Structure 1
Amino acid sequence: MQHEPRVASTTLRTSRGEFNFFCFSWGEHEEDNVLCLANRSGTANLGGTDLAPLCRVQSACYTAEIFQSVDCDCHEQLHTSLAMIREHGGVLVYMLCDGRGAGLFNKTLGLELGRTDGLDTSDAYARLGIPQDPREYSRVAFALKHLGLLRIRLLTNNPRKIDGIAQHGITVERCALEIASTRESESYLRTKATKMGHLLSEFEGEEIGRPEGTF
């Protein structure tokens, strides 16, 4: 069983407004931290109405969020979520684990296979023997419970994320967070929908398959 983390908090002023900022630290490495931006104002604040607060649980995507790569929707999902949480209240939980939990090194290997061999992200992970989505949400659930949240409206298109959080005693209602594809991101989003089961209406009805290897 994991020990309880150290918790630090402050107020963070951002271009989207002021948030309560929390850092939950389970160890000395950055990836042992879970970050939260909480907005207790808005039409659906943290537990202040009968409507469950909005919540976005996002894993790091340094290639898009720092270097502004255009091949995925991660940057847009992050900022769309922050705008919604700023308006309506809620919390954004940020996991410092890139590559859907596989790590930035493995993600980079997968991106190179896409460049050299034409593999999508799912098939690239399968070629490398990496699980498609190894993320685990016990630390996210701890952070939510620390903030008094046992019921959330989760901004996501990923059924695995819903199940992964719900199994830790959080009641989860899904709110869609769909970003329209661009010429650069269409392949990535189609792979999410057709090979990883993400709920994306843009690709509804397309054949669903699975890559070889671990899933």
Structure 2
Amino acid sequence: MTTTCLLFFIFVYTTASAECADQQQANANLTGLNGVSVRAVACSESDTSGDVSIDVFLDRKRPTTLHTDYESPAYVLTLDTSITFDDDKSQGLGVSTGKGRDGTGMHYWKVPRTGVPIIDLGDAPALEPDRFMHGAFSTLVSSTGMYQSIRYFYEIKHDRLVATQAVGFSPVNARSYAVTLMEITYSGESVAKQKRTLSIERANLCMNGKIACW
């Protein structure tokens, strides 16, 4: 009986180790919170996907463990601890997922100043605070079809990051771009609202978030 149990233990241990033969780790301190640190471990489940476990330590107490998954054959685990929400009142935490057309997907959480409870904001492309829309975050992604690229604008609604607007860019000729402002409905449909023509120089500034598109 003892021998059987020992063999079973060895089998389970070996299987668990084999399931996570390819592992990545990342550690960081949450810049806006004293005494709060993060340890993330990405464990591959196949050549193109895996699981990410994130321990958030508050004053070295028992950690709160968060989870997300990734999808990318060339996945690299990265943490975004510089993003903030609620007008800098809440610390943000982003963990790379490798999802999306450009492979820049992130999963975001909001960590209140007290450290808990941590709020799951969901998946989004890698975001940065938008310079021209208060409380919004934006990102540029490549596209197909009628738009060469699209800048998406996200807001937090009901504790989720939701795309609310987008600006699509289509080359007209060697000197200009057609720029389309779109509203994104609750169902995720993009509805064109306004269109204008910009020079390549101004369109590039708009694409890169350097000037307001509207």
Tell me the TM-score normalised to structure 1 length.
0.29
Higher relative contact order (CA 8 A, sep 6+): 1
Q: Which one has a bigger Cα radius of gyration? A: 2
Greater percentage in strand: 2
Choose between structure 1 and 2: higher helix proportion: 1
